[in-house]
Amino acid sequence: MRLITVYNHLFKRYGPQHWWPAETPFEVMVGAVLTQNTAWINVEKAIINLKSAGAISPEAVIEAEHDILAEWLRPSGYFNIKAKRLKNYCHWYLGQGGFEPLSRFDDNTLRHAVLSVNGVGPETADDILLYAFERPVFVIDAYTRRLFSRLGLVEHDMGYEALRHHFETGLAKEAGQVALFNEYHALIVMHAKEHCRVKPVCMGCPLRRVCPYPKQNH
């Protein structure tokens, strides 16, 4: 089965996801950091706190005391670490001059620049690249690994960069890379969420016969 075939099944079942769930590019960046190993519902609460405090800007994040910022981030978990990581990112972001100057970087340069921030790893960086800067990078997360290794389309022990390269080259001939990668990652997350927890059978699963869910606990 080809990668684009899996995509077509998912899209037919779930339709367009119009990700990322955020109002501005900066809000995408904040969400990308806060959602590290965390349920999105909890990230939403933290973002609401930031908005209520008028702190959904890089300047406000930097100016806030650590303990205050951590308190706003509390619902998203790891609040002490994430307060530091968010400040690290905002310092770097403003140091680069914000969105405009960064948007002139070529894809690879921008990716390495974002990755240089302490607290921003490959997945967080690619969330930011794809959903805030609209660059053609394929986001690899735990869901992607699990789904495609169980489908037998990738090896289970592939590293992040190897997986990313596999998806990007495997979909290279498809039109509209950014829009495709945007929808694909969102659909993978949606599919995983539907098959999360108790689901006796894959009723309505777009991948029917080959659907790897549920297996073990998922």
Partner DNA sequence: AACCAGGAGACAT
Partner DNA sequence: ATGTCTCATGGT
Interface residues toward DNA, by CB under 7 A? 19-21, 31-32, 35-42, 45, 74-75, 77-82, 117-125, 127, 131, 141-143, 159-160, 189, 192-193, 196-198, 217-218
Minimum CB distance to DNA smaller for 79 or for 138? 79
In angstroms, give the least distance from the CB of 85 to DNA: 7
The burial class, CB within 10 Å (0-12 / 13-18 / 19+), for 20 is buried
Which lies closer to DNA via its Cβ, residue 38 or residue 149?
38
**Min CB(32)–DNA separation in Å:** 7
Min CB(20)–DNA separation in Å? 5
d(Cα 139, Cα 29) in Å, to the nearest integer?
Answer: 14
Name the minimum Å distance from CB 164 to DNA. 11
Identify how many contiguous H helices and E strands the chain contains and give both numbers.
Answer: 12, 0
Are 139 and 127 within 8 A, CB to CB?
A: yes
| Shortest distance, position 151 Cβ to DNA, whole Å | 17
How many whole angstroms separate alpha carbon 177 and alpha carbon 182?
8
CB-nearer residue toward DNA: 9 or 82? 82
Reduce the DSSP state of residue 171 to 3 states and report it. Answer: coil
Are residues 118 and 83 in contact, defined by beta-carbon separation less than 8 angstroms? no
Residue tagged 């949606």 (tokens) = 190
Nearer to DNA, 2 or 161 (CB): 161
Indicate the DSSP class of residue 22.
-
Nearer to DNA, 42 or 57 (CB): 42
